[in-house]
Amino acid sequence: MGRTRTFDEAAVLDGAMMTFREHGFAGASVRDLERATGLSAGSLYNAFGDKEGLYRAAFGHYFRLVIEPRLGAAVTLDEVEAAYLGLFEPPMTDGFGCLVINGVIEFGGQGSAPAADLIARGLDIVDQSLERVLAHELGPAAGHAARRLALIYQGLLVVSRSGRPIAPYRPAVIEEFDRLRALRPTTTKP
Amino acid sequence: MGRTRTFDEAAVLDGAMMTFREHGFAGASVRDLERATGLSAGSLYNAFGDKEGLYRAAFGHYFRLVIEPRLGAAVTLDEVEAAYLGLFEPPMTDGFGCLVINGVIEFGGQGSAPAADLIARGLDIVDQSLERVLAHELGPAAGHAARRLALIYQGLLVVSRSGRPIAPYRPAVIEEFDRLRALRPTTTKP
DNA sequence: CGAATTCTAAGATGGACATTCTAAAACAGT
DNA sequence: ACTGTTTTAGAATGTCCATCTTAGAATTCG
């Protein structure tokens, strides 16, 4: 065949993900990506096609690593709360925010964005996960709580990116989940 | 003295504000700004120093035009709600989002950002306005509602920028304000 | 070994960009 | 009307960037 790949794909995608989270798509230069991945530009272009290809690969990595195991896999209200509280702990406290939300703001609604479909998918996962869990746990009593939680999630990621202290928002989140838990149908035996 | 300025400053700042809202600071080229303001680059540099100066001027314009008259001036809970519901109506439905939130995401927590102080001030106005109104109207019964409303506000601006329909989030917002109004101390006569 | 493939390194290319320069035109105060 | 100053438009400058190319070294399989 030929020479086999020597680099560790997960490590490369970790570096690319960090760089794109920190600087955005346009703001991350290929030089930055060389440094963060340890690969030269030639290798990056050979492996991922172009900068957009690397960006898309970093998105996939981010989904598999962060979004799907947490919010995407949540079944119970407590698991959703755990996903939210995870935003207050490392590694999410690095101040770089979220690839999806950062992408939303960078590209707006342009369908021509380098990862418009992936950004949309990220937003969908959040919305649908919340809708699913709340419908299952609270039924109609949930009201529009799923939508509200989605807004709170995005707000948290804005604050997390702002470099300001995020801790003061923690009680507000817990209070909301306390309120939602109080709506759970009680399974008391008569 | 010399030749007088012929351009309408408000119109120029309107154009610059739109362009920066749409493309961000780095993404807005001076050519874009020439088109949007009707001025040539020479005039822009003469009047505002550099691109950063124009960006800062656009921020001031945005504060005076959008943030201060709405959230900043709100005294009652109903006025706060009106500010929120304003996000569902023109001209905020143009899909360009908010200069402050877009700036937060573009620059992250870098203190060296072209308008870091103005971005921080925008976030402060939101936080403090909510804190002030809720403390006044609800007192301790508000719990951490001010923080939660701040997150919801930022979330709404993310959705507004995403190009997705924002209308489904409207009932969730109204529901939250209904809930807060129910906490108001009743002034019933005995 | 030899053919195919991947990697590094370096440089070349072409475009986009912010900013400065140049010179003419328009005005204010006298 | 004259003088000095500012605004304006457009061209020029130099930088940075993504991408492609080239050449060669490394590595695998037949």
Question: Does residue A24 belong to the interface with chain B, where contact is any CB pair within 8 Å?
Answer: yes
What confidence tens digit (pLDDT) does each residue in A80-104 have?
999 999 999 998 999 999 999 999 9
Q: What is the mean pLDDT of chain B?
A: 94
Question: Does residue A112 belong to the interface with chain B, where contact is any CB pair within 8 Å?
Answer: no
Helix, strand or coil, per DSSP, at residue B29: coil
What confidence tens digit (pLDDT) does each residue in B58-87 have?
999 999 999 999 999 999 999 999 999 999
Q: Are the beta carbons of A173 and B152 closer than 8 angstroms?
A: no
Protein residue with the closest CA to the C1' atom of nucleotide D22: A42
Lowest-confidence segment of A1-10, B139-148, B170-179 by average pLDDT: A1-10
Q: How far apart are CA B68 and CA A51, in angstroms?
A: 41
Half-sphere exposure of A20 (CA within 13 A, CB side): 29
Which pLDDT belongs to residue A4? 80
Q: Looking at the predicted structure, is the pLDDT value of residue A2 above 60?
A: yes
Nucleotide closest in space to B32 (CA vs C1'): C17
Interface test with A, best of B25, B29, B88, B105 (most A CBs within 10 A): B105
Cα-only R_g, chain B: 19
Question: Does residue A161 belong to the interface with chain B, where contact is any CB pair within 8 Å?
Answer: yes
Q: Which residues contact A162 (CB under 8 A, 6 or more apart)?
A: B104, B108, B109, B119, B123
pTM of the model: 0.94
> If we measure between CA atoms, which residue out of A155, A129, A146 comes closest to residue A63?
A129
> If we measure between CA atoms, which residue out of A142, A161, A34 comes closest to residue A92?
A161
Question: What's the gap in Å between the CA of A151 and the closest CA on chain B?
Answer: 4
Q: What is the mean pLDDT of residues B127-132?
A: 98
Interface test with B, best of A23, A148, A157 (most B CBs within 10 A): A148
Question: Does residue B169 belong to the interface with chain A, where contact is any CB pair within 8 Å?
Answer: yes
What confidence tens digit (pLDDT) does each residue in A25-55 have?
999 999 999 999 999 898 899 899 999 999 9
Question: Does residue A25 belong to the interface with chain B, where contact is any CB pair within 8 Å?
Answer: no
Q: Looking at the predicted structure, is the pLDDT value of residue A190 above 80?
A: no
Which B-chain residues 120-139 have CB contacts (< 8 A) with chain A? 120, 123
Q: How far apart are CA B175 and CA B170, in angstroms?
A: 9
Q: Give the residue ranges of DSSP H helices in chain A.
A: 9-27, 30-37, 41-48, 51-62, 77-85, 99-107, 116-138, 145-162, 170-181
Cβ–Cβ of A148/B152 closer than 8 Å?
yes
Half-sphere exposure of B58 (CA within 13 A, CB side): 30
Interface test with B, best of A92, A125, A128, A151 (most B CBs within 10 A): A151
Nearest CA in chain B to A119: B162
Which pLDDT belongs to residue B187? 58
Question: What's the gap in Å between the CA of A160 and the closest CA on chain B?
Answer: 9
Of the partner residues B97, B106, B144, the one whose CB lies closest to the CB of residue A171? B144
Task: For residue B178, name the pLDDT band (cuts at 50, 70, 90).
Answer: very high
CB pairs under 8 A between A and B: 134
Q: How far apart are CA A155 and CA A145, in angstroms?
A: 15
